[in-house]
Structure 1
Amino acid sequence: MLIQTARPLRTCIAAFLLPAMTTGALAQECPPQPLPLEQAREHIEKTPAKNAGLLWRVEKSGRTSWLYGTMHLMHIDYAKPGLQVMIGMRTSDVLAVEINVYEPQQPIPTSQTSKFEMSQEQLGRLKSAYQKECIAHDPAQPATHLLMQSQANRLGLFWGYGPDGRLMQIAKRTNKPIIQLESLDQQINALRPRSQVEFDAQLNSSLKSFEHGVLSSHLATLAKAWQRNDLQTFIKDTEQMNAQFPDFARRINDERNVLMARKIDDLHTEGKRIFVAVGATHMTGTHGIPKLLEEKGYTVTFVPLRNDNGQ
């Protein structure tokens, strides 16, 4: 089964907050849609598996768990997990993810997403962006999420092909328990601006990033880095986010990482071998999950991945 519709609210959304540094023309046609299910299945079946992403081995008390840094949206050619990733998955007792799409989530009241007001100038720019991207206004979804998703789709990146969704499908098919590390409400609360000033700064940066083509180029850079197992690009991305938006970075990564690392530690202490699949930005920096687990006494080793052809 391919998941085509369910997707977490946070999907590389931090990339959308980078200031515009380059210019580029936006395509006028609507973003593409994912392949029909049957075509997607056929494509995935005939495409070789690829070892992509960021993988760490985590050891303590004679048990081995795994940390896997993902990108929530990915190209269909990377929808089949590679051998090294699958070995970690198969030797684990449970799969741990940010949000389990198979579990019902509490709906978020629309009022919580529209606390702050947009100026007429912001509304005009947003309306123009939505028209270019064929987006219908959805008050329950922040503009950053909708525009980021449209740009990712233009690059051929979709949730249904991402490693998080694919690994959940595999776990469901093999009756491996899926454990949710946080709630949807916790995610959305981390994303929610704390003041009108912060709301304006984020929205203006987001619109500028979209209008100048930086969002698309940045998503493309991150996708290629993930496909090449390029940890350094994600480290630099985290450092840039921390420098430009320290309060947002603390909420979206650092504070959530502490909670997720605590739950991972609890599961491992209970005797479970865990395969953890969460966004790659949660794995980098001094407040990344690998570092937090090291501080809890784990031996954490980055595992260089090779393509299944030995490259």
Structure 2
Amino acid sequence: MSWLRLACTLLLGLSLGGPAFAATACPPAPTQASPEQSAAWGRQAQDRGLLYRISRDGRDSFVYATMHIGRPEWAYPGPKLQAALKRVDVLALELDLSDAATLQVLSRPPAHAPDLKLPPALRKRLDAQARLACLPAGALAGQHPLMELSTYTVLAARWDGLDPSFGQELLLSLWAREQGLPIIGLEDAASQQRALIPGDAKLALLSLQKGLDQLEQGRVRPLMKRLAQAWAQGDLATMQDYARWCDCIEDAQDRADFIRLNDERNPTLAAGIEAKHAQGKSVLAAVGALHLSGQASLLKQLRQRGFVVEQLHPGPR
């Protein structure tokens, strides 16, 4: 559950920069590649993640399953993804962070959830995670505590060389802007906030405590590392089995949260892809890889809407 929450957090435009705490050992910064190294990575780029062609009405669109953290060498699209990018008219992301209205919603506390008053002990634990993440005091002031936690969680992956700076959505957005390719959002910001943050303060506090427990006990980094490896290898089976092996779904409430964060968002994502495709536009929809899992996966939703789905990468094993 925590990984789903943190993965979506990376689409909410949080500012993660700023000076580090002097008293805290910080994870190494990503390697700054030389022009020669960048050129070599570009020439040797491999297809990673999962790429599908979806066809209807005599026209092709594409679904690309992404990871919200990555390594520098993952910044370069492989041959099949490059070919798809050259064919499409629109890049569709879960949220379009270049949209002013979206950013305005995200800059305010969620309208559906009351202010979460944290007990001093819980606030102290959350602030400790800010120091461990090497964020300056007040860097995330005004954010909902659950969004704070998600940010600290994803930043912990930097110790394993996985950085949000190399998340696929961010890199695809940069590429699209350079090419003049329009970007659209498949969800609206308020709906995504409702999926990420419980409206019930008691449930929000419970989720915060569980997430902090997982982070403090060192259970999150191995989870993210395994997911990243599965994504890079195009291992959908491991990602689909996430709910079993993540050791993060402990009770009925956790299962309900998982469904709300993943399955229940898929019809909206599918409807957005279908609507743009029906307008005569070829779409590359880049969505978090876990949306391809579950009983109501995005690909199942698209098949139900009459799309023929063909996996392009990885090929048959």
TM range (shorter): 0.7 to 0.9
TM-score (norm 2): 0.81
C-alpha RMSD of matched pairs (Å): 2.7
Equivalent position to 1:145, from 150, 170, 188: 150
Would the alpha carbon gap of residues 224 and 173 (structure 1) be closer, same or farther in structure 2, given more than 3 Å must change? same
Aligned to 1:119: 119
Aligned to 2:57: 61
Shift of 1:11: 4.2
CA distance in 2, matches of 1:281, 1:295: 19
Q: State the identity %.
A: 28
Shift of 1:111: 7.0
Equivalent position to 1:229, from 224, 227, 234: 234
Shift of 1:279: 0.7
Q: Answer yes or no: is 1:182 the counterpart of 2:187.
A: yes
Equivalent position to 1:206, from 211, 218, 224: 211
CA distance in 1, matches of 2:250, 2:308: 29
Q: Tell me if the contact between 2:70 and 2:167 (Cα under 8 Å) persists in the aligned partners.
A: yes
Amino acid paired to 1:177? P
1:89-128 map, 5 Å: 89-104=85-100, 105-107=103-105, 108-110=107-109, 115-128=115-128
TM-score (norm 1): 0.82
CA distance in 2, matches of 1:97, 1:111: 21
1:203-282 map, 5 Å: 203-238=208-243, 244=251, 245-282=254-291
Unaligned 5+ residue runs, structure 1? 1-8, 15-27
Q: Tell me if the contact between 1:44 and 1:79 (Cα under 8 Å) persists in the aligned partners.
A: no
Shift of 1:238: 4.6
Moved more, 261-270 or 167-176: 167-176
CA distance in 2, matches of 1:213, 1:153: 14
Aligned to 2:39: 45
Unaligned 5+ residue runs, structure 2? 10-23
Q: Tell me if the contact between 1:84 and 1:305 (Cα under 8 Å) persists in the aligned partners.
A: no
Q: SS of the counterpart of 2:262?
A: helix
Q: Answer yes or no: is 1:132 the counterpart of 2:132.
A: yes
* Residues 132-189 of structure 1, C-alpha deviations (whole Å, 9 max, x = no match): 3323342333232221132122222223322211122222222222111122332222
Shift of 1:300: 1.3
CA distance in 2, matches of 1:58, 1:145: 32
* Residues 23-66 of structure 1, C-alpha deviations (whole Å, 9 max, x = no match): xxxxx512333456xx4766433212121001122111111111
Aligned to 2:25: 29
Aligned to 2:196: 191
Q: Answer yes or no: is 1:12 the counterpart of 2:13.
A: no
Would the alpha carbon gap of residues 84 and 226 (structure 1) be closer, same or farther in structure 2, given more than 3 Å must change? same
